[in-house]
Amino acid sequence: MNDAIVASNLRKRFISYERIGFIRRRKIIVEALRGVSFRVRWSEVYGLLGPNGAGKTTTVKILATLLIPDDGYAAIDGHDVVKEASMVRRIIGLVLYR
């Protein structure tokens, strides 16, 4: 039996801009995920816990096919979230609330 969720060495970076003075800005790279790995078996309850900025939402968005990881592998019920995104979307149900 496959695992329900597999995340292996997930990495995600974002480009942001930092203000220097009144007008000038410089580009910075923000690492949202640095090698996140975990497995969730069927009928298991799993929680992602951590402080603000730990990458919890980024991880969920990658698993829900809303973001593409820069590196690593993620699968839902054995289906790759990048290569088989349409199948993963059929399997999951997700509501993001702010």
Mean pLDDT of 53-67: 94
List, for residues 23-42, the tens digit of each pLDDT value. Answer: 899 999 999 999 999 999 99
Q: Which residue segments constitute the domains of the chain, with CATH numbers given?
A: 5-91 (3.40.50.300)
Cα–Cα–Cα angle for 60, 46, 67, nearest 5°? Answer: 10
DSSP codes, the chain: ---SEEEEEEEEEEEEEEEETTTEEEEEEEEEEEEEEEEE-TT--------TTSSHHHHHHHHTTSS--SEEEEEETTEETTTTHHHHHHH-------
pLDDT of residue 2: 77
Distance CA 66, CA 6 (A): 16
